[in-house]
Structure 1
Amino acid sequence: MIASDALFAPVISTTAFEETLERLSVAIKLGLLAPGARLPAERELCEQLGIARSTLRQALTALVQSGHLVAVRGRMGGTFVADAPPAPAPPSEAALAAWRGACDTRLAVELGVAMLAAERAERAQIDRLAALVAMMAAGLEDFAAYRYADVHFHIGLAEATGSPALVAAMTDSQGAMSDLVAQIPHPPEVLAWSNAQHARLVDCLEQRDGALAVRVMKDHLRGTEHVLAGLLP
């Protein structure tokens, strides 16, 4: 799966420890690494990320100390995502002040993703996105379930482009938005409206209509901006 490939793609930053720490913590926060999931073996992770074992162990130790991961010793042991990872801290005043920048970055990424996904999505990928729309429709009263499916929907669109770079960019964007979205209430009516746009995006992929997909996505993202503008503290 492309999402997994992007998650464990080689680290190219000169700050390998920090980048590894961020990549794993964002994946946990977004549910890409599910509670209880076992991480690949250290040797495999080091090869995939292109980092030294000492760097990986440093990052894993930090995430165990923060409560994101659990290390289990013994023959059946390993490193697992915590069943109940710590709740994210409220965004700083600086982050709240820069929320429009986060929205601008998301806009730049997701409009391109919408266009390419409409051109390239395969049948199985479209079906998966449709199933996520159904999950969100059933989870209007449970925001945690809705948000889980929402994140996977947008990352699924990026996967449909066939570009690991866009999957990584989408994951980063979703991580930045999650901190903001967590600070506002989520009326079911707003979620239902948003999910109707998700359904329209699936229709655009069915019809191979990239231009319409871009327009629908733009409306979708602008709607989120308006909600944030009205409800952020």
Structure 2
Amino acid sequence: MDTADERDTQMDWQGGAIFRPVRTGNAFEETVERILEAIKLGVFGYGDRLPAERELAARLHVSRETLRDAIRSLQQAGCVESRRGRYGGTFVTYRLPPPDLGELRRAVQDMGTELEDALTYRLVLETGASEQAARRTLTADERAYLTGRLTDLEEATAEEYRQLDSRFHLAIAELTGSHTLATGIAESRMRLNDLLNAIPMLERNIMHASEQHRAMAEAILAGDIEAARRSTEEHLEATAALLRGFLG
């Protein structure tokens, strides 16, 4: 996993899909929502330090007072904690809750046709993102960023896996160079996040997914547009099949 200093050097793109300017009149509520999305999607996992207050307030286009209020509320909810001193800051304390398959099956039934809509939307956005990332000439830092996210995922414990899986997919979105596309993928992922987290951790599936993730990353780094699209489509269709099987 990255150190806090290493993460700071990546912030030009990490979290950009979520830490976008707040545009509604509900600045406090939307600030809380954005930070929670970043945590639940794995952009920042348990023990990670959030960006510095000045940087995060600037990214969200909110006052530092509004940001402090949001962080205090998240601290009271047990999602983050603030530490003082040279190595202080705001650190994530949120852990994914254990899945409740009964509750999630009811949620799927309530979604009805919306589930297939969400899966189709995700497929179109993420295959397009992989194609676009492969099409671009990535910088050395961007290549290292994608490789680092893949390594983190391949070395993840069972407890870390879901969040690091999200982080890998969002990294590809951020490397497209399209803020709008990256934002759409983050929103799409959030729409399905609780359901994806409910899929049991099957050893054979994890091995298969690992092969697919590596194929995706290698195709993007090689600039192979067709292979990037094909490997991403194969991976997302496999995930959708498991989701339908366990929660249908």
Q: TM-score range by the shorter chain?
A: 0.7 to 0.9
Query: What is the CA–CA distance in structure 2 between the aligned matches of 1:54 and 1:228, rounded to whole Å?
Result: 41
Match of 2:5 in 1: none
Deviation at 1:77, TM superposition (A): 9.5
Identity across matched positions, percent: 32
Alignment partner of 1:55 is 2:70: no
Q: Is the 8 A contact 1:136 1:150 kept in 2?
A: yes
Equivalent residue in structure 2 for 1:154, among 149, 152, 169: 169
How large is the RMSD of aligned CA atoms in angstroms?
A: 3.0
Aligned CA distance change for structure 1 residues 88 and 120 (closer, same or farther; 3 Å):
farther
SS of the residue 2:187 aligns to: helix
After superposition, the C-alpha distances for 1:6-27 in whole angstroms (9 at most, x for unaligned) are 4433111333333211110111
Query: What is the CA–CA distance in structure 1 between the aligned matches of 2:49 and 2:166, rounded to whole Å?
Result: 21
TM-score, with length taken from structure 2: 0.76
Match of 1:111 in 2: 127
SS of the residue 1:161 aligns to: coil
Query: What is the CA–CA distance in structure 2 between the aligned matches of 1:61 and 1:224, rounded to whole Å?
Result: 36
Match of 1:2 in 2: 13
Aligned length: 230
Aligned counterparts, 1:91-130, within 5 A? 93-94=106-107, 97-98=110-111, 99-122=115-138, 124=140, 125-130=142-147
Query: What is the CA–CA distance in structure 2 between the aligned matches of 1:199 and 1:49, rounded to whole Å?
Result: 33
SS of the residue 2:90 aligns to: strand
Please list every run of 5 or more consecutive structure 1 residues that lacks an aligned counterpart in the other structure. Answer: none
Deviation at 1:42, TM superposition (A): 4.3
Alignment partner of 1:83 is 2:93: yes
After superposition, the C-alpha distances for 1:49-69 in whole angstroms (9 at most, x for unaligned) are 222445334422321222112
Matched letter for residue 27 of structure 2: A
Deviation at 1:122, TM superposition (A): 1.6
Equivalent residue in structure 1 for 2:191, among 176, 180, 189: 176
Match of 1:27 in 2: 38
Query: What is the CA–CA distance in structure 1 between the aligned matches of 2:52 and 2:151, rounded to whole Å?
Result: 35
After superposition, the C-alpha distances for 1:160-197 in whole angstroms (9 at most, x for unaligned) are 21223333333333333331122221211111112211
Aligned CA distance change for structure 1 residues 230 and 147 (closer, same or farther; 3 Å):
same
